[in-house]
Amino acid sequence: MSGEMRFLSKTHANPDRSASESRSTDKMAKMNQAADPSAIDFPPYEYVTGDPGSGLLLLCDHASNAVPPEYGDLGVPAEQFERHIGYDIGARAVTLELAKRLNAPACLTTYSRLLIDPNRGEDDPTLLMRLSDGAVVPGNAHADQKERERRISRFHKPYHDLIETTLDLSLQSAPPPVVVSIHSFTPVWRGVPRPWHATVLWDSDPRAVRLMLDGLRRQPDLVVGDNEPYDGALKNDTMYRHATRRGLSQVLLELRQDLIANTGGQLEWAGRLEPILREIAQDAECRTIQFFRSRCDAD
Ligand SMILES: [Zn+2]
């Protein structure tokens, strides 16, 4: 797992401060000031400025397996952090490579999902996992309401505020962007191998999803999943709160982690996804606001 670091030694999370984005970054700076002073040593997100008019916003919810020093190791053995339960292996590198190639803004977290899962609503019982794929997380077992609120305000909220601010900025300067979220999944789950190389998770808005599925299926060497192994409709997850609720076109990709565990695989997959994402960014229908009722809100 070369290239992946358990602990971030230095911040790489400072938003770039180009003149065109001073307003947005000022707001972000205020958000950081308002947060805990420890945010200076361990910023809760990594931000790639990109071009707000690129037509895409890239997200990586599970980019890092790092835990801020004040939490030690949450009582979890080091090797567990290297597994998929700590983070989405390879997802950060693919996201950054795509951001570079597509000149797209990108928002990534800097902390392990074992600390708090940014892809869950604040009231979701799995926000702080006590048990993850058989591994106990002692540092979460005794987290009380106050601690839960601290982690929300220190890690969860700043990431979601960043996404919101970045979307606001894009909407000021261009037709609405498509929200693209990059995740990775484990090739074997509870002893059962999974057949897919990549899968697309989605709720109700088919616009970008259809183009992504078509683009992946045109690559004959791939087995492509459609809402497998999970259903993409999850109330108050990242896509629900930022894309579905705002009527923005969206696609969530799950890539098999062993295919993107090293630099060669990460570049290969960025190359596979780049032309499809360009097509999506240029699609007129994907670049409009249309509201599709979430299946979470069906009843
Ligand atoms: Zn993930």
The string of DSSP codes covering the chain is -TT--SS-SS---PPP--GGGHHHHHHHHHHHHHS-GGGGTS-SEEEE---TTSSEEEEETT------GGGTTTT--HHHHTSTTTS-TTHHHHHHHHHHHHT--EEEE-S-TTT--TTS-TT-TTSS-SEETTEE-HHHHT--HHHHHHHIIIIIHHHHHHHHHHHHHHHHHSSPPEEEEEEEE-SEETTEE---SEEEE-SS--HHHHHHHHHHHTSTT--EEES-SS-S--TTSHHIIIIITTT--EEEEEEEGGGGSSHHHHHHHHHHHHHHHHHHHT-TTTTS------GGG--
| Spacing, Cα 221 to ligand 1 middle (Å) | 24
Domain extent, residue 258, equals: 19-297
| Spacing, Cα 85 to ligand 1 middle (Å) | 9
> Can you give the pLDDT at residue 179?
98
| Spacing, Cα 31 to ligand 1 middle (Å) | 25
- Does residue 8 fall inside a structural domain? no
- Does residue 103 fall inside a structural domain? yes
| Spacing, Cα 118 to ligand 1 middle (Å) | 9
| Spacing, Cα 83 to ligand 1 middle (Å) | 12
| Spacing, Cα 298 to ligand 1 middle (Å) | 25
Are 205 and 288 contacting, i.e. CB atoms less than 8 angstroms apart? no
CATH number, residue 279: 3.40.630.40
> Can you give the pLDDT at residue 290?
98
| Spacing, Cα 91 to ligand 1 middle (Å) | 8
- Does residue 14 fall inside a structural domain? no
> Can you give the pLDDT at residue 89?
97
User: Which parts of the chain register pLDDT below 70?
Assistant: 1-38, 299
Q: For the chain, what is the largest distance between any 2 Cα atoms, rounded to a whole number of angstroms?
A: 52
- Does residue 162 fall inside a structural domain? yes
- Does residue 12 fall inside a structural domain? no
- Does residue 7 fall inside a structural domain? no
| Spacing, Cα 183 to ligand 1 middle (Å) | 4
| Spacing, Cα 184 to ligand 1 middle (Å) | 6
Encoding tokens for residue 145? 């309401």
> Can you give the pLDDT at residue 80?
85
| Spacing, Cα 114 to ligand 1 middle (Å) | 12
How far CA 81 is from CA of 73, 139, 179, in Å, comes to: 9, 13, 28
| Spacing, Cα 117 to ligand 1 middle (Å) | 9
Torsion 66-69-74-80 (CA) sign? positive
> Can you give the pLDDT at residue 37?
60
| Spacing, Cα 74 to ligand 1 middle (Å) | 20
> Can you give the pLDDT at residue 2?
34
> Can you give the pLDDT at residue 254?
98
| Spacing, Cα 33 to ligand 1 middle (Å) | 28
Encoding tokens for residue 186? 């484990």
Q: Say how far apart CA 188 and CA 211 lie, in whole Å.
A: 27
| Spacing, Cα 211 to ligand 1 middle (Å) | 21
> Can you give the pLDDT at residue 41?
82
Encoding tokens for residue 22? 């001073």
| Spacing, Cα 19 to ligand 1 middle (Å) | 33
- Does residue 5 fall inside a structural domain? no
Number of domains in the chain: 1
- Does residue 81 fall inside a structural domain? yes
| Spacing, Cα 131 to ligand 1 middle (Å) | 16
